[in-house]
Each structure stands twice: as C-alpha cells, then as structure tokens.
Homo-oligomer: A and B are copies of this chain.
Amino acid sequence: MPPVRRGFRSCAILAAFLCAGSAAAQDLAPPTQPAESAAPPVALLAADDRGQAARLADAALSGSGAFDVARALTVEVGPRLAGSAGDRAAVVWGLRALSGLGLRHVRAEEVTVPHWERGTASGWITAPYPQPVALTALGGSVGTSEEGIAAEVVRLDSLAALRELPSDALKGKIVFFDVAMERTPDGTGYGRAVGVRGRGASEAAKRGAVAVLIRSIGTDRNRLPHTGALRYAEDAPRIPAAALSGPDADLLAAQVASGRPVAFRLLLTARLLSDAVSSNVVGEIPGREAPEEIVLLGCHLDSWDLGTGAQDDAAGCAIVLAAARLLGELPRPPRRTVRVVLFANEEFGLSGARAYAAAHAAELGSHVVAAEADSGAGRVWRFATRVAPEALGLAAEIAAVLAPLGIEPGGNEANGGADIGPLRRLGVPVVSLQQDMSGYFDVHHTANDTLDKIGPTDLDQPAAAFAAFAFLAAEAPTDFGRLPPETDSPF
C-alpha cells in the first residue's frame, strides 16, 4: 500500500491532467497487457476521456463534498438499523439527498427486512471476583429470561478447540470464545477472526452450552463492544450470544487464569419482531448514448444501532454520492448510465442486495460493471477486478489512470463487496477500489462509529477514485464481458 505525499499527489494529478490535455502518446499508452488478456495492445480509452477522468479526480481532491454527505446522514438520521424508525428516516433522507445532488430517476424500491431489537444487555462476573462487564448482544441473538442466565464459564480460543471437546463438556456452561483479531491494511484479520461470531453460538449449543460470550471482533482497546450478525443453525437450540469489549475480555480471561471457577450472569432483552418494510434508494446519471447500459455504484444505507454508522457506511454512501454528483455536473454526461444504489439492510442479512438482484433480474445483462464502497473512510490503495479475461486490457488502462492517486493495480480475483455479491454471482463483472482498513476495525460495529472518526478531507481521495473509475467505465468503448454465473438465483 504505497502512501502518497499530498504534494506529490497534486503534482501527479496535475501531470496526468496536462499530459491528457496534450494527448502525449508516450504518457497515455496503455501499460503492457497481462499475458492472459486477449485485448489488442492499443489504447481503448480515448485520450480525452483519460483527461476528463483525471480532471474529475482533481475536482474531487480539491473538495468532493463527500464529508458533508456523511455529516448530514449521521447528524440528521444517525443509527438506522433495518426496520427501525431510523431506517425509515434514512430512506426519506436518501431520496432527498439523491435528488439534491442532481441524480435522476430517484426512487425507493421496497425491500422486506427482518426487524431485530437489541434491547438492553448486562453482564456480571459473579465469581471469583465479582465485577460488571461491558457487552452487547450479537445481531439476531435471542434474549435471556428476565432472571438472566447464570452459569460457569469455559474459555476456548477457537471453534476448533470446541470441536475437540467431548460432546457433554459444555452442558450447562457459558462458552467464552477468546479469539483476538489481527490488524491488517486489507482487513483480512477480520475474516480470520469472525467465524466465532457467526457460528459460535450454534456450535456451542450443539454441545450443551446455554450462552456464548465472545471477545469483540475488533482491533481497539475501548470498552465499547463490537456487535455484528450471528447465524443460528437449524439443528441447534438458539442460545443467547453477546460480545465483550476487548478490555472486558481481558478481565474475564484474567479471572479464568486465576485457576478458580469463574461464574457469569448474562441478561439480554434482545428480540426479533415482525418483518418490516425498507427500501433500496436508487438514482441515476442517465447515459448519453447507451442509457440502458448500467455502471452500478453501491453502498448501504442501513447501519448497526450502536453508533451513527459514520464509517459503516455513511462514508461509503458519501463517496459514491460525491462521485455521482461530479459525473452529473459534467457538461456532457457519460455514454452509459451510472446508477447509484443505497442498499437496504446490509448488516442483518443483505436483504437489499438480494431484493435488487431479484427486482432487476431482467436487466442484469445490461449491468456492465458494479463497484461498492463499504470499507470506511481510508484512502483507496489498490484497484482489483473480477472481469472477463478479454476485458483485462481495459482494466489495466483504467488502473493506469488511477495510479496517480496512489492506487496500485490488484489482481482479477476481486470480491467486489457484500451488496454486489449477488450480482457477481449472477455474472456481473465487479471491481474493488480497496480502501486502507488499518483503523476500520477500531470502530466497526461499535458505538464509536461516529462522524469524528472521519477527517474532513478523508473521503476526497476515495471519491476521486470512484469518480474516475465510474466515468471511464461508463465511457469505455468496450465492456467488461461477463463472469461465469455461480448461481441462477439471487437468493
């Protein structure tokens, strides 16, 4: 991840702009084609379009307005968990925001979402050294009885360790999964640690446990637990599950290390209510020549309820909306349509992503490419793709235009993101404008995910990258091919 000094960045952008303006063949020649690409070794992107992309990026770097969008969503709406009053307020906000930023065909597309309420969460170590702890329910957890659950604690450091236990070893116990997450720029530490959050409760329940505590999946040292969805298996009792903050997990581990039996009492009032109605909020910059062809930019409008969802994902929505505003203000719109989708309910089951793929099944063949911003407020440092082999030449040309932003080319195994996952599995090419996630998991899914964690200019470089990418993707004379479908159903 190459850091780029601000002065250098401005120079590089200026150089890209000037070179584009003078159409200097040497600077604009596409990079050497990857061996697996079938594209001819000539420039696909017009010099004027490269120059326009660089100018869009420069405009974003000079002040994209993205921070103002993030501020508005966090100050005027705040927490917006699927099905909540905040979620409904967010849809109203989204419709107004998209119209206000100059998008067209602005609309709410209904999505049925699950409606879970966190309620209150309390926990106490009751022996050997009584102390209250800071914890929160995992998303989707059932509540406890009014008296709570009181039981002895068994500490485990992995799901694998649990599977090695005799089948009755956890009978009547509270399992404490003590798995520490590693801090990495690409966020891969999250994937390695998060399994106990999703599957820990059911795996423990199958072995007789009555509740599960996990060390928060996060990289900070604050007494603010990280929530996130669990998934109950069909073949296991549904037991309550909660996350302890890091310092509280330390405390529980220290008491376990004392060698004396550790007892805990857990009280959760979480509950699942009836399904609710939310919406994907959609708007467009209609294409100049091929309006039916779609370049999709996504983010998610919902958030967890603990914070105001600043990094997750007001930041992403701010990035794609700022990019779309810049595209909409061009004197000549791009050739294809750029569609912005603020997806409903990413956090608690991807309802919006699935609903979009289903509602737009007939036009998925016209979705040229999709990108998503859902990684916080860090700078974009890598441009990875998952496109057809014959489109790698075009991808490399786009990567070359993004390079002055301090973005290195990635491979062709991009995931794209959770909300465009159903599209990818149905054959739509995707790209990942990967953001630096080094600090993201300090606040992810916590009460600390608030506006102050985003610097006023942090979102300008990501907005520049999304604007330049979207413009080139919408203007390119060729497309990104199709991916081999992994499924024929978005569900």
Interchain CB contact under 8 A, B247 and A451 = yes
A11 at the interface (CB under 8 A from B): no
Name the residue among A71, A74, A77, A131 with the largest chain B CB count within 10 angstroms: A131
Docked Cα-Cα span, A468 to B252, in Å, equals 36
Interchain CB contact under 8 A, B308 and A251 = yes
Tell me which of B76, B132, B221, B255 contacts A452 (CB under 8 A).
Answer: B221
Interchain CB contact under 8 A, B452 and A246 = yes
A167 at the interface (CB under 8 A from B): no
- Taking CB atoms, residues of chain B closer than 8 Å to A129 are 75-78
- Taking CB atoms, residues of chain B closer than 8 Å to A71 are 254
Interface positions, chain A 178-197, Cβ under 8 Å from B, are: none
Q: Given the interface contacts A447-B134, A447-B223, does A452 sit within 8 Å of B250 by beta carbon?
A: yes
Interchain CB contact under 8 A, A78 and B131 = yes
A453 at the interface (CB under 8 A from B): yes
Tell me which of B251, B307, B448, B453 contacts A450 (CB under 8 A).
Answer: B251
- Taking CB atoms, residues of chain B closer than 8 Å to A224 are 222-224
- Taking CB atoms, residues of chain B closer than 8 Å to A246 are 452
Q: Given the interface contacts A451-B250, A452-B250, does A131 sit within 8 Å of B79 by beta carbon?
A: yes
- Bitwise, A294-330 to B at CB < 8 A (1) or not (0) is 0000000000000110000000000000000000000
- Bitwise, A202-241 to B at CB < 8 A (1) or not (0) is 0000000000000000000111100000000000000000
User: What distance in Å separates the Cβ of A442 from its nearest Cβ neighbour in chain B?
Assistant: 10
Docked Cα-Cα span, A224 to B134, in Å, equals 11
Docked Cα-Cα span, A246 to B258, in Å, equals 36
User: What distance in Å separates the Cβ of A454 from its nearest Cβ neighbour in chain B?
Assistant: 11
Interchain CB contact under 8 A, B251 and A75 = yes
User: What distance in Å separates the Cβ of A485 from its nearest Cβ neighbour in chain B?
Assistant: 43
Nearest B-chain residue to A132, judged by Cβ: B79
Q: Would you give 24 A-B contacts (Cβ < 8 Å), ordered by A?
A: A75-B254, A75-B258, A76-B129, A77-B129, A78-B251, A79-B131, A79-B132, A85-B130, A86-B131, A221-B448, A221-B452, A222-B224, A223-B224, A223-B307, A223-B447, A223-B448, A224-B224, A246-B452, A247-B450, A250-B451, A251-B308, A251-B450, A251-B451, A254-B451
| Extra contacts besides A75-B251, A86-B131, A247-B451 (15): CB < 8 Å | A71-B254, A74-B251, A75-B129, A75-B255, A76-B129, A78-B130, A79-B132, A221-B453, A223-B307, A223-B447, A223-B448, A224-B224, A247-B448, A247-B450, A251-B450
